[in-house]
Amino acid sequence: MTSAPAATGLSLPPAVARELLAHARRELPNEACGLLGGDAATGTVQAFHPASNELASPLRFSVDGQDLVRITFAMEAAGQELVAIFHSHPAGSAEPSPSDIREAHYPAALHLLTGRDGSLRAWRIRVGSATEVPLTVA
């Protein structure tokens, strides 16, 4: 995907925030997921690319492999880089779980989570730990 310098925070338009929260509601009771494309160096999101959770689980997610390929090509065609990976915690908080931390495979990408209360929080997950980063919806 991308090896651009890591952004220090995440910025997304309100329309994108509404779109990913709607996706999370549609996928209940399971975790929803998707990728956020834009400028990885600045953390500026231009688009949300919803994906299927191939695990179909309320406790874990994995972006469907076919969706991953489709979204990767769509982001490249639009001149976007992978900025963040989104998923929901339908029964929990917008904080990475131990399995989220253990299974994070893209250290350059941020992680955007929503919890059961609809809150959004952004995280950097690296080397077995998660650090919250600033999130701006504007």
CA-angle at 5, arms to 4 and 9, nearest 5°: 115
CATH code at position 57:
3.40.140.10
pTM, two decimal places = 0.94
Q: Is 16 among the domain residues? A: yes
Q: In which domain, by residue range, is 49 found?
A: 10-137
Write the pLDDT tens digit of every residue in 78-126: 999 999 999 999 999 999 999 999 999 888 899 999 999 999 999 999 9
Q: Is 3 among the domain residues? A: no
Structure tokens at 79: 């001149």
Q: Is 4 among the domain residues? A: no
CB distance 36 to 23 below 8 Å? no
Q: Is 43 among the domain residues? A: yes
Number of domains observed in the structure of the chain: 1
